[in-house]
Structure 1
Amino acid sequence: MGLGGCIILIAVGAILTFATDWHMQGVNLHLVGVILMIVGLIGVTTFSSIYRRRRVMVPPTTAVVEEDRHPHTRDGYSDGYGL
């Protein structure tokens, strides 16, 4: 379940808890709404912690060494005109 699914769970749970006055025999819709909101919050925290771990960047262990060329030495091909 992605972040969007978790947000939908929170929204549906809030609607069931705070915006409805339906009464079904054997089902407490307010409790179902609270449970959906809790599951959505757990999903959001889990998703954000996993996403944060994936974003950690490790610096490279090998050093980049650039070649030093002396501007006064010409081998005939380094400037592109030695053909």
Structure 2
Amino acid sequence: MGIGGCITLIAVGAILTFATDWELDSVNLDLVGVIMMVVGIIGTAVMTSIARRRRAVVTPVAPTVVDRDDRF
């Protein structure tokens, strides 16, 4: 699941929690929406930390140059 999927979870969870007034006997849609939003937020945090680790720039080590003057 990428960042787009996490944002979709947050959006669908918010819609279920705040924008619907459906009543089901066996499912609390408000709780399902809150759970989806929490999972989306955690997923977004994890995905951004993974992306940050992948983009780490490692500076190359400069080669050591030895200048010898071998005149005897």
TM-score (norm: length of structure 2) = 0.85
Identity %: 65
The structure having more radius of gyration, on CA atoms, is: 1
How big is the shift at 1:61? 1.9
**CA RMSD in angstroms, aligned pairs only:** 1.4
Equivalent in the alignment of 1:14: 14
Q: Distance in 1 between matches of 2:39 and 2:50?
A: 16
Structure 1: gaps spanning 5 or more residues: 66-83
- Which AA in structure 1 matches 2:5? G
Q: Distance in 2 between matches of 1:64 and 1:41?
A: 47
Change (3 A) 1:60 1:29: same
Change (3 A) 1:8 1:64: farther
Q: Which runs of 4+ in 1 moved over 6 A?
A: none
Structure 2: gaps spanning 5 or more residues: 66-72
Q: How do residues 1-83 of structure 1 correspond to structure 2 at under 5 angstroms? A: 1-63=1-63
**Which one has a larger percent helix, Structure 1 or Structure 2?**
2
Give the number of the structure with larger relative contact order, counting CA–CA contacts within 8 Å between residues 6 or more apart.
2
